[in-house]
Chain A
């Protein structure tokens, strides 16, 4: 199975600052013919189900604030939260869907410093 490894496991960021979360896959999740990246990001707040933020590595889901952005290709991806707000406190997960067996990263907890 493809292993997704996120870093760091947790981070504390001041309000209004930037949070950066990394996700590395053990195999490429990019389609060689068109460079499309089969990578999604989710946000999960305590007591709630996950919420899809980004797919195709950089496409924001409808309604997601533009302070959330995704980048990367191949095996290395990044979720950036610019201008961190109090409501962004959550655990963030990456997920690959390139292979038939989908896998999530272990999660990154974002807190306010």
Chain B
């Protein structure tokens, strides 16, 4: 079945780095834009980045641009988020999401999320 499974979340010190992964299954991964969305504790959803299927086009929210990098490996059906210079405000559940092939924007499949905690 169509599935996304995130991994890599953990406790990290401010200023540290972390790499999140998302493994996809059950669909043609390379055909879809993919995205990362985060949710701070008790807060709403925040879109942070997306990447085209070919991997040659990316966009970032202002809050993470220059610190985070989204990438993908279509041969391994995997999406990544490299997070550098982490701050306390980056503490959140990070969701990997597939972008609908019908409309490049709505996210129609979501993983369960991985938790990143930035604290000293």
Contact B106 A49 (CB under 8 A): no
Residues of the A chain whose Cβ atoms lie less than 8 Å from the Cβ of B108: 52, 61
Chain A, residue nearest B61 (CB): A101
Contact B47 A55 (CB under 8 A): no
Residues of the A chain whose Cβ atoms lie less than 8 Å from the Cβ of B105: 38, 40, 55, 95-98, 102
Residues of the A chain whose Cβ atoms lie less than 8 Å from the Cβ of B28: none
Q: Is the C-beta of A35 less than 8 angstroms from some C-beta in chain B?
A: no
Q: A52 touches which one: B61, B106, B112 (CB < 8 A)?
A: B106
Contact B44 A107 (CB under 8 A): yes
Q: Is the C-beta of A44 less than 8 angstroms from some C-beta in chain B?
A: yes
Q: B44 touches which one: A38, A55, A93 (CB < 8 A)?
A: A93
Q: Is the C-beta of A77 less than 8 angstroms from some C-beta in chain B?
A: no
Q: Chain A interface residue count: which class?
A: 20 to 34
CB contact under 8 A between A52 and B45, given known A101-B59, A101-B61: no
Q: B106 touches which one: A95, A101, A103 (CB < 8 A)?
A: A95
Give the 9 A-B CB pairs with smallest separation, nearest first. Answer: A97-B105, A49-B110, A55-B106, A40-B106, A107-B44, A102-B47, A104-B45, A100-B59, A52-B108
A-B residue pairs in contact (CB < 8 Å), sample of 12: A38-B103, A49-B110, A49-B113, A52-B106, A61-B108, A95-B105, A97-B103, A97-B105, A101-B61, A102-B105, A104-B45, A107-B44
B residues contacting A by CB (< 8 A) are: 35, 37, 44-47, 50, 59-62, 95, 97, 100, 102-108, 110-113
A residues contacting B by CB (< 8 A) are: 1, 38, 40, 42, 44, 49-52, 55-56, 61, 91, 93, 95-98, 100-107
Given contacts A49-B111, A95-B107, A101-B62, 16 further A-B contacts (CB under 8 A): A40-B107, A49-B95, A49-B110, A50-B45, A52-B106, A55-B103, A61-B108, A95-B105, A97-B103, A98-B105, A101-B47, A101-B60, A103-B47, A104-B46, A105-B44, A107-B45
